[in-house]
Amino acid sequence: MSGKKKRKSETYGKEKSFLDAALSYGARALDLAACLYLFFATVMIPLYNRWDYLHIGSEKIAFFWKGCRVAFGAFLFLWTIWLLLSLAERCRDGGFALSALGKDLRREFSVTDWFVLGYGLAVLLSYLATDYREEALMGKSTWGMGMLVQEVFVLSYFSLSRMWKKRGWLVGLALPASALLFVLGIFNRFGIYPIPMKTATSPQFISLAGNINWYCGYMVMPVLASAGFVWSYRSGKRWIRWLLDVYLLLAFCAQVTNGSASGLVALSGVFFVLLLLSLGEAERLLEFGRLCLLLAVSCLFIMAVRLLFPGAINYRDGLMDLFTFSALPPFLAAAAVLVWLLAGRWRKKGTYPAGALLTLGKVLAWGAAAMGVLFVGMIVLNTLRPGSLGPLSRIPALTFSAEWGSRRGATWKAGVWLWGELSPWKKLVGVGPDCMGEYLKTDASQELKDYLRNVWPDNNLTNAHCELLTMLDQLGLLGAVSFGGLLFTAIYRYIRRLAWGEASPCFVTACGLGLLAYAINSVFSFQQVLNGPFMFVLLGVGEAYCRALPEGRVREWPK
């Protein structure tokens, strides 16, 4: 008995040494800071507004900046203290050796970690090298994506992935917050404003986002991350699954009526990936059929509303009509029911044709890639040689011009033109965080200024409406490669690792699909105060759960 007491006493004394206690409290403080930032990024920013659409963007930016200043100071202080204490612990326990430190970093750092770290350094270098230091610090007043903001993103990633205690319920708070935005967005799209917003006259203003592009850039992540979670979630109480189904019905209704075609492209891309991932086993295909049915029911509901109230919808485009006012919703519903019935029958009889369906998946994947190459090739050919595609040449999407893709052609051309004008050093580090607009206004060539003045006489272009191209201009080759690398590696790692059963491991799949939706949408869009913080939260949460996945519940998808 005395021996046990002695050993317990010795252990207690060792645990309560000053250095160990300080490290423990430092980790708890970083965990608390990560929790507060997660709530700030996923709940407070989306819901914050002053009931005035004309100023909702600038007011969100001002609120966001206040939070970022606090977060930057807290994260930087706590991480500095924690790293110094960790260094002291290493010296105490075995001495400090660079070789040992290098081995630990290689073991503890994932490839995504290195890209995030590289991104933080690229942002800092771009800020130090910019000619617009004042604007680059916090960002343009109408955009808000400056150096300090980007460094908060990086610090939040490491805080969430390393110190956060993986509280799934805290991540789940993003669902009711986003659901409120979706409800308001659906009503607004049909000209109904439950909250009396001032100057709510333009259909470009929607929900609490204030702008279609901001709304869409944000919504693709909670919608499709939730779809991924529902697809892989197997345990827990049934009422939780029912609530998630109701949420998805609401979310899909908002998605197909938001007004931005890029969101529907992201929706289609993620569902295609889910189809490929589902073909390996009956249960996955069964859940995919159920997801498709939820989407089809949402589209049919919006179609019914449009039929009952003709002309009520206040914004339309081709893709929106395809999803909500064509033969696609009934066809999708029929296909979903067929897939669901077949998968259920195969699972019940134990005769699932996995080999044949996986082969079909490979054919579909290569076919989609070939279609993409063919589409780009047709655009190039028809642009260089108008009329060469016969009757197809008259399709606007097959001619690249300033008006292509809701004027994406003009913004992409300007972005490429800008980067081509830069010196080799500036090509490497960019013109500065969030400084594209300032460069175009002051230092761009006269030819580029004249081109922009002809396209947008009254506006200053602040981004290229393609996030990677914007990164290339503002953060240079270093920033663009780092940002592209962190997105690609995270998506690949999170989706390739299959977790099933309990709720917590399913967050890996959910975060991977949410990031995939963001990546697809960002080809035509940009980073802003709604989607930027949310994306890095998904990145950090996904890494935290990925690092904690028990090997017994993990396997890789078939190649």
**pLDDT value for 14:** 46
Provide the token pair at 335: 């296909």
**pLDDT value for 104:** 64
**pLDDT value for 486:** 96
Residue 431: is its pLDDT beyond 50? Answer: yes
Residue 239: is its pLDDT beyond 90? Answer: no
* Amino acid symbol at 444: A
DSSP alpha helix (H) spans, 40-146 = 45-47, 56-94, 98-108, 111-129, 133-138
Query: If residue 357 lies in a helix (H) or strand (E), which one and from where to where?
Result: helix 354-384
* 66-81 pLDDT tens trace: 999 999 999 999 999 9
Q: Please report, for residues 23, 159, 337, 536, 543, the alpha-carbon distance to residue 33 in angstroms, rounded to integers and kept in the order given.
A: 15, 8, 46, 15, 17
Rounded mean pLDDT, 264-270: 95
Apex 31 CA angle, 28 and 33, nearest 5: 110
What mean pLDDT is reported for the chain? 88
The tokens 């892989």 sit on which residue? 232
Of the pLDDT bands very low, low, confident and very high (cuts 50, 70, 90), residue 559 is very low
Domain ranges within the chain, ordered by starting residue: 2-281+352-556
Residue 296: is its pLDDT beyond 50? Answer: yes
**pLDDT value for 164:** 94
Task: Give Cα 442 distance to the centre of its chain.
Answer: 32
**pLDDT value for 501:** 43
* 37-46 pLDDT tens trace: 999 999 999 9
240-248: long-range contacts (C-beta < 8 A, 24 or more apart)?
Answer: 245/294, 247/175, 247/179, 248/223, 248/291, 248/294, 248/298
Of the pLDDT bands very low, low, confident and very high (cuts 50, 70, 90), residue 232 is confident
Of the pLDDT bands very low, low, confident and very high (cuts 50, 70, 90), residue 554 is very low
**pLDDT value for 12:** 40
> Lowest-pLDDT range, 197-211, 222-236, 352-366, 516-530?
197-211
**E strands present in 101-225:** none
The tokens 């509303």 sit on which residue? 305
Rounded mean pLDDT, 53-57: 79
Nearest Cα residue to 74 out of 85, 62, 82: 82
* 439-470 pLDDT tens trace: 999 999 999 999 998 888 877 889 999 999 99
Provide the token pair at 255: 């998605």
* 117-149 pLDDT tens trace: 999 999 999 999 999 999 999 998 888 899 999
* Amino acid symbol at 20: D
CB 461 within 8 A of CB 452: yes
